[in-house]
């Protein structure tokens, strides 16, 4: 006991000595620093009265953002994916992508839980939320986080893969919904805000303008904007100056996978039609004319070759009832100019079923007006795509796999194979994903933005459903021109621009 007391006394004295020595060193041995004199600027560089309009704009933008943010939500999804033993100890996700953020194995069982984050916007008092289909496709659980931090379970009301839209429902949102604007009135140059959760950063606001209206895509005409849109923005709203939704952000064109100032949104009129159809009918009701069409040739149709030329008419269709004929050029639909086939398709899709519409056409060089009723698209009907313009020179001797190709062609550096249903399931691709699977990309090819495991779905808006399709399309392209690829990576779709070296 005495020894213990002596030891504790020794430790106490030693600690006291060290403390005194440290204090002495601080006061006497280390150099002393004198305080620096400083004077902070007391006046702004610019007199606020001289930029009163900018100050007012600043306040107005704050008001706009404050009013719309509560209706924008984070859509959080999760899905359990079983690990198949034939792949050994390496999961296919890790084989192709490493271990992406948001994926982890559930402890104690053979499952991989994939988490994803998208965006959405509340558009009804009852709590209906618009988002992208690819955000919620084939998931086990959907949660919605509001701007005030509340988290609610969400129910999937309906979805459509062709339009890439989905409707969710939460109970008692307690939030004022945002109005869907008339996207027909939107014009290039209009100010817009993109709001969402890019890279998981919630309630992020970016601004820009409408860069182009009516950009053609495989899901219809889109609004193009330079407001920064990144992964995680999918399903979020594009907002106008009145706090209305003019579009739902859905895709980007990028060589890196991040924003390059070229983003796309589904127009609000398309969204409204899909929403009402899903809520009233439980599915998307699509109208159709029943034609196969192509772009007009020089000297056919309007001076700038706008419109579509009818190649064929489906018997019993609205087009047949209107007595449309092959060779007719459709120039206006229900008073709207028809720029191309995608314009016509969007106009038909937004038309109420059984509504009588007037078509302005040109037949044998003479203007003519005809009327018809838009009918529901029959089950199994494949939406017509615009055919290539006739009398165009065709590539001779298409290259086959293994043939030597131009060294400047970036597609020549991409190696692909057939996408099997099994691999699509293992990669957790959307149900409607189809294309070819990228197996490797030649090093130093300048195509670093593509990764092993990506799925190429389209090249220059031409669908790719097999390796044969890929080779034929690649062989027909000008290797000295940029090519636009529609690529699916996990549940995210984006556009990539490949430029010749």
Task: Render each residue's pLDDT in the chain as its tens digit; 501 residues.
Answer: 677 777 778 788 888 888 877 777 766 666 667 788 999 999 899 998 999 999 999 999 999 999 999 999 999 998 876 554 444 444 443 333 344 444 445 555 555 667 788 999 999 999 999 999 989 988 889 999 999 999 999 999 999 888 899 999 999 999 999 999 999 999 999 999 999 999 888 899 999 999 999 887 767 789 999 999 988 899 999 999 999 999 999 988 776 667 788 999 999 999 999 999 899 888 888 888 888 887 776 555 555 567 888 988 988 899 999 999 999 999 999 998 888 877 888 788 878 888 899 999 999 889 999 999 988 887 656 544 333 333 333 333 333 233 333 334 567 778 899 998 888 877 878 777 889 999 888 766 666 677 888 899 888 778 888 888 888 888 777 776 777 788 887 767 777 777 665
Rounded distance between C-alpha atoms, residue 416 and residue 466, angstroms: 10
Q: Is 262 helix (H, G, I), strand (E, B) or coil?
A: coil
Rounded distance between C-alpha atoms, residue 326 and residue 314, angstroms: 11
Break the chain into its structural domains and give their ranges.
67-169, 183-281, 287-376, 410-498
Q: Looking at the domain covering 410-498, what would its CATH class be?
A: mainly beta
- Is the domain 67-169 a CATH 3.90.230.10 member? no
Rounded distance between C-alpha atoms, residue 437 and residue 475, angstroms: 18
From the list 115, 124, 122, 168, the residue with the least C-alpha distance to 146 is 122
Which residues on neighbouring strands pair with residue 310, listed in sequence order? Answer: 293
Predicted local confidence at residue 292, as pLDDT: 83
From the list 194, 200, 150, 205, the residue with the least C-alpha distance to 174 is 150
Rounded distance between C-alpha atoms, residue 78 and residue 352, angstroms: 37
From the list 245, 269, 286, the residue with the least C-alpha distance to 160 is 286
Exposure pattern of 111-125 as b/e (b: 16+ CB <10 Å)? Answer: ebebebbbbbbbbee
This prediction has a pTM of 0.66
Quote the crossing angle between the two packed helices 341-349 and 268-281, to the nearest 10°: 40
Cβ 72 vs Cβ 64: under 8 Å = no
Cβ 419 vs Cβ 437: under 8 Å = yes
From the list 370, 303, 298, the residue with the least C-alpha distance to 330 is 370
Q: Looking at the domain covering 183-281, what would its CATH class be?
A: mainly beta
Q: Do the two domains 183-281 and 410-498 of this chain adopt the same fold?
A: no
Pairing mode of beta strands 165-169, 245-252? unpaired
The tokens for 110 are: 């053979």
Catalytically active residues are: 134, 164, 234
| DSSP classification of residue 84 | P
Which residues on neighbouring strands pair with residue 210, listed in sequence order? Answer: 225
The tokens for 50 are: 């001289």
CA distances from 16 to 20, 21, 59, 85, 304 (A): 6, 9, 60, 64, 93
| DSSP classification of residue 282 | S
Q: Is 463 helix (H, G, I), strand (E, B) or coil?
A: strand
The tokens for 219 are: 């899901």
Rounded distance between C-alpha atoms, residue 272 and residue 248, angstroms: 11
Cβ 486 vs Cβ 218: under 8 Å = yes
The tokens for 364 are: 């044998």
Predicted local confidence at residue 101, as pLDDT: 41
The tokens for 388 are: 């290539």
User: Which CATH number does the domain 287-376 belong to among 2.30.42.10, 3.30.565.10, 1.10.10.10, 3.40.190.10?
Assistant: 2.30.42.10
Strands (E), 9-110: 72-82, 103-105
HSE toward the beta carbon, residue 161, CA cutoff 13 A: 11
Rounded distance between C-alpha atoms, residue 486 and residue 253, angstroms: 9
Rounded distance between C-alpha atoms, residue 122 and residue 196, angstroms: 12
């Amino acid at each position: 006991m005495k020894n213990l007391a002596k030891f504790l006394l020794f430790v106490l004295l030693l600690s006291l000595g060290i403390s005194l020595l440290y204090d002495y060193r601080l006061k006497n041995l280390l150099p002393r620093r004198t305080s620096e004199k400083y004077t902070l600027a007391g006046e702004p560089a610019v007199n606020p009265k001289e930029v009163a309009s900018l100050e007012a704009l600043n306040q107005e933008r704050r008001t706009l953002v404050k009013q719309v943010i509560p209706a924008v939500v984070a859509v959080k999804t999760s899905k359990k994916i079983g690990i198949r033993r034939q792949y050994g100890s390496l999961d296919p996700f890790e084989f192709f992508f490493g271990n992406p953020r948001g994926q982890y194995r559930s402890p104690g069982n053979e499952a991989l839980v994939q988490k994803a984050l998208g965006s959405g916007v509340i558009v009804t008092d009852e709590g209906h939320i618009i988002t992208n289909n690819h955000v919620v496709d084939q998931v086990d659980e959907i949660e919605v986080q509001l701007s005030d931090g509340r988290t609610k379970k969400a129910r999937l009301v309906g979805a459509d893969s062709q339009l890439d839209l989905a409707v969710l429902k939460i109970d008692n949102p307690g939030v004022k919904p945002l109005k869907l604007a008339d996207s027909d009135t939107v014009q290039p140059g209009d100010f817009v805000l993109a709001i969402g959760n890019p890279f998981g950063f919630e309630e992020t606001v970016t601004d820009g303008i409408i860069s182009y209206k009516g950009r053609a895509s495989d899901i219809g005409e889109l609004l193009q904007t330079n407001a920064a849109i990144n992964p995680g923005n999918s399903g979020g709203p594009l907002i106008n100056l009145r706090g209305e939704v003019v579009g739902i952000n859905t895709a980007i064109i990028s060589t890196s996978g991040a924003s390059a100032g070229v983003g796309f949104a589904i127009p609000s009129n398309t969204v409204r039609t899909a929403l009402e159809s899903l809520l009233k009918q439980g599915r998307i009701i699509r109208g159709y004319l029943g034609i196969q069409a192509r772009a007009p040739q020089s000297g056919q149709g309007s001076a700038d070759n706008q419109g579509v030329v009818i190649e064929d008419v489906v018997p019993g269709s609205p087009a047949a009832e209107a007595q449309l004929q092959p060779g007719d050029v459709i120039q206006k639909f229900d008073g709207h100019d028809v720029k191309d086939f995608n314009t016509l398709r969007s106009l038909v899709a937004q038309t109420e079923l059984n509504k009588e519409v007037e078509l302005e056409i040109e037949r044998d060089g003479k203007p003519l007006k005809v009327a018809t009723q838009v009918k529901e698209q029959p089950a199994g009907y494949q939406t017509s795509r615009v055919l290539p313009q006739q009398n165009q020179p065709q590539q001779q001797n298409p290259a086959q796999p293994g043939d030597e190709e131009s060294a400047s062609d970036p597609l020549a550096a991409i190696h692909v194979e057939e996408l099997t249903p099994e691999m699509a399931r293992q990669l957790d691709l959307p149900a409607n994903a189809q294309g070819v699977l990228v197996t490797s990309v030649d090093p130093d090819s300048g195509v670093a933005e593509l990764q092993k495991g990506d799925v190429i779905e389209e090249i220059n808006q031409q669908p790719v459903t097999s390796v044969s399709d890929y080779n034929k399309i690649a062989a027909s392209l000008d290797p000295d021109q940029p090519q636009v690829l529609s690529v699916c990576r996990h549940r995210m779709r984006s556009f990539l621009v490949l430029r010749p070296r």
